[in-house]
Amino acid sequence: MASPREFLDPFPYWSLIEWAKLLIVAHVVVCVVSYTTAVLLGGRFKEHCLQKDAERRVLLITAHPDDECMFFSPLLLHLTAERQVHVHVLCLTNGNYYGQGKRREKEILKSCQILGIPESNIAVINKSDLPDDPHQAWSSVSLDAEVRAAVDRVQPHQIFTFDDYGVSGHGNHIAVAQAVRKMYKEENRFKGVEAVYHLETVGVWRKYLGVLELPFTLLLSSNVYMLSPQHILRAQRAMLAHGSQLEWFRFLYIILSRYMAINSFTVELCTADPAIRL
């Protein structure tokens, strides 16, 4: 006669390894279904915030050449390849930490071309008080001036940048996020900008799951971009355009990082217009 434990346990002889295998298979199945659904539906970004309109303008603010493809490829390819939105990029350094600034200025142009952004829409800043150095504080006056000038020039409907953790914790990424937040939240300098979006930083274990991370993003985030396999390859090509940065660990990043396939954003509103409220 079966014991109460055996009666309650439908798989009494399964080992931990077998249970682990079952969980892995179940997770992969969920990922495949989630990925296919997300690609077919085009992500879960609010349609009224980023309309398919050739007159819409978006400004991406980054810290270094390669940020645009290393972290924001899903966003950029969604906007350029699927929505035909005018995308502008403000890169606040030329990546001269190892004396390769001039080369990296050319690399970002090539990368952005692959991502569908014309050279005329790219501004790369090279100023001594905005150095490519995570340990050196940036001049807030100079940083504010560059961001304000870009906003005045582009007159974007939306602005995208890092969040306060900067994805990788890089000091320059964090400085960009904090400066942008201060300008629109405390000083109200972004008149005409409908919303500012901050790229969500996720934990290391999620960061390197690649597309297997998708179920967590869909569960925890509401503003999501997901690349199709074809566009993932295009994002990887953009990364390869940054030849000066292609150390061995970069290739692992290209293969494993969820940011090469998935972006999720938090949103801060700059207007009281209820039509664009999320």
Domain coordinates in residue numbering, the chain: 15-45+54-276
Mean pLDDT over 47-57 rounds to 62
Q: What pLDDT score does 32 carry?
A: 58
Q: What pLDDT score does 42 carry?
A: 57
- Tokens describing residue 259: 């940011």
Q: What pLDDT score does 5 carry?
A: 52
The H-or-E segment that residue 223 falls in is: strand 223-226
- Tokens describing residue 198: 């901050």
Nearest to 70 by CA among 270, 256, 196: 256
The H-or-E segment that residue 68 falls in is: helix 67-70
**Alpha-carbon span 91 to 64, nearest angstrom:** 6
Distance of alpha carbon 191 from the chain centroid = 24
**Alpha-carbon span 146 to 45, nearest angstrom:** 29
**Alpha-carbon span 43 to 81, nearest angstrom:** 14
In the numeric block, the tokens 């660990």 are attached to: 249
Instruction: Say which amino acid occupies 274.
Output: P
pLDDT of 66 over the 60 cut: yes
**Alpha-carbon span 75 to 69, nearest angstrom:** 9
CATH top class, domain 15-45+54-276? alpha beta
- How far is the first Cα of the chain from the last one, in angstroms, to the nearest whole number? 59
Q: How confident is the model at residue 275 (pLDDT cuts 50, 70, 90)?
A: very low
* 3-class SS shares of the chain: helix, strand, coil, % to 5: 50, 15, 35
Nearest to 93 by CA among 112, 135, 119, 65: 65
**pLDDT digit string (tens) for 150-160?**
999 999 999 99
Q: What pLDDT score does 80 carry?
A: 94
3-state secondary structure of 73: helix
DSSP category for residue 50? S
- Tokens describing residue 32: 């495949």
Nearest to 260 by CA among 223, 234, 222, 224: 234
The region of weakest confidence among 24-33, 76-85, 137-146, 159-168 is: 24-33
Indicate the average pLDDT of the chain: 85
**Alpha-carbon span 36 to 25, nearest angstrom:** 17
The region of weakest confidence among 79-83, 85-89, 98-102, 196-200 is: 79-83
DSSP 86-98: EEEEEES----TT
